[in-house]
Amino acid sequence: MGNREQGSPEWPPKIALCVGAVVLQEDRVLFVRQAKGQSLEGQWSIPWGVIEPDEPPEAAAVRETEEEGGVKAQVEGLLGLQDLPADGWVAVVFLCRHVSGEPRSDGGIETDGAAYLSLDEMEALGEPFEPWCEWLVRRVMGGAYCLIPPEPGNPYHPNLAFF
């Protein structure tokens, strides 16, 4: 427990949980460009955001994909977790498949661009990519990942579990 003891003002520990979605459509991945005023302004990233209260992580990933990139997606499985550089922030990242829609930004609220890009198109774009998102997408596109699919037989069904 470290310095955090039960009953102290720091207990329970506070963690901000984010989600990210690597959305595949054939040999391309959905990227969104972060709008002016956002922490990643001008950089292309995967759709991501904070989980809303009482929202399952996989539902948040689907919601963020549609809000930021204009695309409906379906979760295929869990890619992994990433401790983020800011203290207390953790990202849960899902692999998703395109279901419908054409990439579009949210009009500059959080994103000002959206596109499916292949690795070659990423190279040719000549615009900055958020480094971790680029690293992750290159791993996925290169097949260097282990997908953990949803386990529908878990006792908490219909809530999803990934084991």
CATH number for 83? 3.90.79.10
First to last CA, the chain: 25
Give the C-alpha separation, 39 to 138, whole Å.
Answer: 22
The tens place of each residue's pLDDT in the chain, 163 residues long, gives: 344 455 556 666 788 899 999 999 999 999 999 999 999 999 999 999 999 999 999 999 999 999 999 999 999 999 999 999 888 899 999 999 999 999 999 999 999 999 999 999 999 999 999 999 999 999 999 999 999 999 989 999 888 899 8
Its pTM stands at 0.90
The answer as to whether 76 is a domain residue is: yes
The answer as to whether 147 is a domain residue is: no
Give the C-alpha separation, 94 to 36, whole Å.
Answer: 26
Beta partners for 115?
31
The answer as to whether 42 is a domain residue is: yes
CB-based contacts of 136, cutoff 8 Å, min separation 6: 20, 22, 46, 79, 93
The answer as to whether 129 is a domain residue is: yes
Residue 76 vs residues 22, 26, 40, 104, 149: alpha-carbon distances, Å: 10, 14, 26, 22, 6
Tokens 């963020």, residue located? 64
Query: What pLDDT does residue 157 have?
Result: 85
The answer as to whether 162 is a domain residue is: no
Which helix (H) or strand (E) segment is 28 a member of? strand 28-34
Number of domains in the chain: 1
Which helix (H) or strand (E) segment is 80 a member of? strand 72-83
Range of 59's domain?
A: 16-141
The answer as to whether 2 is a domain residue is: no
Give the C-alpha separation, 91 to 142, whole Å.
Answer: 21
Token pair for residue 117?
């890009």
The answer as to whether 150 is a domain residue is: no
The answer as to whether 89 is a domain residue is: yes
